[in-house]
Amino acid sequence: MKTIMGASASVALMSILSFGLIVSATAFDPTTAPVTSAVLHPPELGPVQPFNAKTTGLLPPQQTDLAVMLFGLTADGRMTYIVVNRGRTAANSPFVVDLFIDGNRKDTVKHNALPPLSQQQVISNLARPDVCSAVQLRIALDTQQLVNEADETNNTQARQLVPPCPDLVVDIDKDSVSNGLKYRAKVQVTNIGNLSTQRQFFVLLKGSGSGLAFAALPILKRERIGPLAPGQRFTFYESGDHLGTSTFHYGVLVDQLEEIRESNENNNYKGETMGGGH
């Protein structure tokens, strides 16, 4: 069942989209096979609303004319677009819209015939980049060529965007206990990215009185935390403590099992030596 968004939700969503008005067109490339998994993950179709042709600066043609007004990524990384019928005649048939990421079709959205001078906003629950680097997005309207249009050259658009991603960083500090006579490790994990981790992950704290490599250090604590929203921080402490005069070498690794796709995978480790004058 499709989720219907109200007009206010549609306007609010548009304010967080990472795109501008798309006016250039690329070559038309029809595809026909539907995406069967869309049955389990249907797109979110907003209500059909009036389209103000004055926003384009172009006079609406008498015949049906489907076009992409806006498309890009939502704040949580899903492909979204607004399709318009800028003509004064209703579309003569339902039609589909295909969404591509780096040349691979990720979703096929079915639209009912659009009335004249109308628009509809869609968020795909299938077309979502699975990388944190720049991707090529492409949208193609009426790929089965079922709608008779005044202009067939404005049915395909493409652009490159960097999708939102989490970025986990870790810090480890000395936490004094027993009136400063002892200390323990304080670990803080922060998501400095622009997307939630959307799931939990493990943080591994290791340490020893000897300066060993991280792989050889004994495990002190294995903490499962998250999900962490952008800017959110989680703090935990070493279970034991140490005399202030003793030296201890720590290492902490975030996302030990590499469950989280991040924009930077090189800032997940921190080593620190504490006590004994440190």
For residues 220 and 240, the answer to whether their CB atoms sit within 8 Å is yes
As a whole number of angstroms, the distance between CA 197 and CA 240 comes to 29
Least confident of 41-45, 72-76, 84-88, 92-96: 41-45
As a whole number of angstroms, the distance between CA 131 and CA 135 comes to 8
- Domain membership of residue 255 as a residue range: 168-274
Give the end of a domain, one of 161, 190, 212: 161
For residues 183 and 274, the answer to whether their CB atoms sit within 8 Å is yes
CATH of the domain at 14: 2.60.40.10
Answer yes or no: do 156 and 190 share one domain: no
Give the end of a domain, one of 161, 183, 208: 161
Q: 248-254 and 201-208 as β-strands: parallel, antiparallel, unpaired?
A: antiparallel
**215-244 pLDDT, tens digit each:** 999 999 999 998 999 999 999 999 999 999
The mean per-residue pLDDT over the stretch 116-126 comes to 95
Answer yes or no: do 247 and 137 share one domain: no
For residues 206 and 248, the answer to whether their CB atoms sit within 8 Å is no
Give the end of a domain, one of 111, 136, 161: 161
